[in-house]
RNA sequence: GUGGAUAUAGCUCAACUUGGUAGAGCACCAGAUUGUGGUUCUGGCUGUUGCGGGUUCAAAUCCCGUUAUCCACC
């Protein structure tokens, strides 16, 4: 399928572009499985490795589209479950889809609602065909299965739809993890057969928890369907011990085809992304920059710290010295701390703007290190500053 | 001037009647947060109980004095 559209401004669709769904591997790191790539969507190219900000309810919390464009953000997340409840699909049809509704001209990936099976576990009931949710807003019951999820994502008009999966918590019994893989595979097959929006890509999701044999069975089952434009590693960071996360990512990534983008869902922290890229992962999303911003935690090149700490009361330095984000260009830590402590809206906006720039800056530096053959040094530095054994932000002289 | 009330953690207040290790909420400090329920969770610090004296084995608590603040009356 070729779409030839001329778009001005923030849109990223050139006059001529490769077939939608094309994933170009532009450069491979000689020492690891890391690569630089480009995924072509109906709303333009997405360069990888990529970080995708989470915009659950048709907005990245506190941030305007132009602020994300200024960071060269090429793709956002939206959420099927949340958008189906509010504003609802009648609104989405009236506005002609999510892009136009929120005025975002670049790519959007929609999560299928599968994660809410995990995160809203007290509000849902599983059946073999799908999940009954009790709305977290008004308690009304709604059913979501593979068919429903894909229909919603079609209405949303996302560039990448995710299959509806079951994401079991950890710990859970091996039998339950096995059953979740069965359901995920059966649902993935159904999702693959549903009608899509024009140019919409669909990604499969590998579940299997901490069990290598289940992960392998799930990955092979998805590949056998031969229907997906990319593959995601799901069910990560759902309660398992931290030391089990990266080995699971490694073994799952190895099962996925080199010529398709690999997406590690929900992760995460800088060091986890750097390690995952080394294992061949291309795409990430995480609520961390925006959620932690709301709690007053700021990311810097020296680690992270809490602006709310009393130690920053009289501090006239910016959130991060040398940073060019809108918050750091004008405001002091002492002022941002005051805004956060008084509950002023500008406070969380400033920390979110800063954190998001820190995330895109991190990805930009990682790409540059790959281009220049310096990825190993970049990984080592990332692990030193942010890794699980890092000294911590306090050690970074308040920066 | 007279009468009454109050005084306990940074703040708002418990505990006093009936003497027995002085607590809570908020605030503060630290940590958590991974396909978002911005309101969450987990820890931690904080006291010459206004001051001085007395009674008692033991006083925030009972007694006397004193200071400050508030209220009412003159």
A310-336 pLDDT, tens digit each: 788 888 999 999 999 999 999 999 899
Which nucleotide is closest to A284, CA to C1'? B35
Answer for A232: CB within 7 Å of strand B: yes
Same domain, A317 and A367: yes
Same domain, A230 and A114: yes
Answer for A59: CB within 7 Å of strand B: no
Judge whether A202 and A196 are in contact, CB under 8 Å: yes
- Structural domain total, chain A: 2
Q: What is the pLDDT of residue A9?
A: 56
Answer for A136: CB within 7 Å of strand B: yes
Cβ burial A130-149 (10 Å sphere, 16+ → b, else e):
bbebeeeeeeeeeebbbbbb
Neighbours of A180 (CB within 10 A): 24
Q: Find all residues with CB under 8 Å of A95, minimum gap 6, and list them.
A: A101
The tokens for A29 are 């790191």
Q: What is the pLDDT of residue A122?
A: 78
Which residues of chain A carry a pLDDT beneath 50? 1-8, 393-399
Catalytic annotation present for A285 = yes
Q: CA A364 to CA A359: how far, in whole Å?
A: 9
Q: How far is the CA of A242 from the C1' of B6 (A)?
A: 57
Same domain, A242 and A345: no
Same domain, A50 and A178: yes
Domain containing residue A66:
19-286
Residue-wise pLDDT tens digits, A248-301: 999 999 999 999 999 999 998 999 999 999 999 999 999 999 999 999 999 999
Omega before residue A49 within 30° of 0, cis: yes
Q: How far is the CA of A310 from the C1' of B22 (A)?
A: 28
Q: What is the pLDDT of residue A182?
A: 96
pTM of the model: 0.91
The complex's ipTM works out to 0.81
Q: CA A70 to CA A62: how far, in whole Å?
A: 15
Does a structural domain hold residue A219?
A: yes
CA A51 to chain CA centroid, Å, is 6
Judge whether A285 and A294 are in contact, CB under 8 Å: no
Q: How far is the CA of A369 from the C1' of B42 (A)?
A: 39
**CA atoms lying within 13 Å on the CB side of residue A258:** 7
Does a structural domain hold residue A312?
A: yes
Q: Which of A163, A165, A196 has the alpha carbon at shortest distance from A183? A: A165
Same domain, A228 and A332: no
Q: CA A243 to CA A224: how far, in whole Å?
A: 30
Same domain, A357 and A240: no
Does a structural domain hold residue A135?
A: yes
| A 97-116 residues, CB < 7 A, strand B | 111-112, 114-116
Does a structural domain hold residue A399?
A: no
Does a structural domain hold residue A56?
A: yes
Answer for A77: CB within 7 Å of strand B: yes
Of the residues A286, A307, A331, which one is the last residue of a structural domain?
Answer: A286
Strand B nucleotides in reach of protein CB atoms, 7 A cut-off: 27-40
Same domain, A239 and A367: no
Does a structural domain hold residue A180?
A: yes
**Owner of token pair 């020296």:** A302
Which helix (DSSP H) or strand (DSSP E) does residue A87 occupy? none
Q: What is the pLDDT of residue A220?
A: 98
Q: How far is the CA of A387 from the C1' of B16 (A)?
A: 55
CATH at residue A246: 3.20.20.105
Same domain, A251 and A381: no
Q: Work out whether strand A23-28 and strand A35-41 pair parallel, antiparallel, or are unpaired.
A: antiparallel
How much is the CA Rg of chain A, to the nearest whole Å? 21
Neighbours of A155 (CB within 10 A): 19
Q: What is the pLDDT of residue A4?
A: 41
Of the residues A236, A263, A286, which one is the last residue of a structural domain?
Answer: A286
Q: What is the pLDDT of residue A394?
A: 41
Does a structural domain hold residue A12?
A: no
Q: What is the pLDDT of residue A139?
A: 82
Answer for A54: CB within 7 Å of strand B: yes
Q: What is the pLDDT of residue A3?
A: 46
**CA atoms lying within 13 Å on the CB side of residue A225:** 26
Q: Which of A319, A274, A270, A268 has the alpha carbon at shortest distance from A298? A: A319
Does a structural domain hold residue A377?
A: yes
Q: What is the dihedral of CA A169, A170, A175, A179, to 10 degrees?
A: 30
| A 347-366 residues, CB < 7 A, strand B | 348
Q: What is the pLDDT of residue A6?
A: 40
Same domain, A301 and A270: no
Given the residues A111, A159, A282, A361, the one annotated as active site:
A111
Q: CA A85 to CA A266: how far, in whole Å?
A: 22
Local structure of A124: helix, strand or coil:
strand
Answer for A234: CB within 7 Å of strand B: yes
Of the residues A286, A309, A342, which one is the last residue of a structural domain?
Answer: A286
The tokens for A236 are 């990560």
Q: How far is the CA of A51 from the C1' of B38 (A)?
A: 22
| A 175-204 residues, CB < 7 A, strand B | none
Which nucleotide is closest to A235, CA to C1'? B35
Q: How far is the CA of A305 from the C1' of B39 (A)?
A: 23
């Amino acid at each position: 399928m070729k779409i030839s559209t001329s778009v001005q401004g923030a849109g990223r669709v050139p006059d001529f572009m490769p077939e939608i769904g094309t994933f170009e591997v532009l450069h491979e790191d000689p020492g690891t499985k890391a690569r630089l790539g480009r995924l072509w969507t109906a709303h333009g190219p997405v360069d990888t490795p990529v970080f995708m900000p989470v915009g659950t309810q048709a907005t990245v919390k506190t941030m305007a589209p132009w602020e994300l464009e200024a960071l060269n953000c090429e793709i956002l997340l939206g959420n099927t479950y949340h958008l189906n409840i509010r504003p609802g699909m009648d609104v989405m049809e009236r506005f002609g889809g999510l892009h136009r509704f929120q005025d975002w001209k670049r790519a959007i990936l929609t999560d299928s609602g599968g994660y809410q099976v995990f995160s809203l576990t007290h509000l849902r009931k599983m059946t073999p065909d799908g999940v009954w949710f009790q709305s977290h807003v008004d308690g009304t019951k709604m059913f979501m299965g593979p068919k429903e999820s894909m229909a919603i994502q079609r209405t949303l008009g996302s560039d990448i739809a995710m299959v509806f999966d079951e994401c079991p918590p950890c710990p859970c019994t091996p039998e339950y993890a096995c059953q979740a893989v069965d359901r995920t595979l059966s649902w993935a097959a159904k999702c693959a057969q549903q009608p899509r929006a024009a140019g919409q890509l669909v990604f499969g999701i590998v579940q299997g928890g901490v069990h290598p044999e289940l992960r392998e069975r799930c990955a092979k089952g998805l590949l056998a369907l031969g229907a997906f434009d990319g593959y995601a590693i799901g069910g990560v960071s759902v309660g398992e011990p931290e030391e089990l996360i990266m080995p699971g990512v490694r073994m799952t990534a190895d099962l996925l085809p080199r010529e398709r983008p690999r997406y590690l869902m929900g992760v995460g922290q800088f060091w986890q992304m750097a390690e995952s890229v080394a294992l061949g992962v291309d795409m990430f999303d995480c609520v961390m920059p925006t959620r932690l911003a709301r709690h007053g935690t700021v990311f810097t090149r020296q680690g992270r710290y809490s602006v709310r700490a009393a130690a920053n009361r009289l501090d006239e330095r910016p959130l991060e010295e040398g940073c060019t984000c809108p918050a750091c260009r004008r405001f002091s830590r002492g002022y941002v701390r005051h805004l956060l402590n008084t509950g002023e809206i500008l406070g969380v906006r400033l920390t979110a703007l800063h954190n998001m720039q820190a995330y895109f800056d991190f990805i930009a530096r990682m790409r540059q290190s790959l281009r220049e053959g310096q990825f190993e040094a970049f990984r080592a530095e990332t692990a030193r500053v942010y890794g699980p054994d890092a000294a911590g932000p306090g050690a970074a002289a308040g920066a």
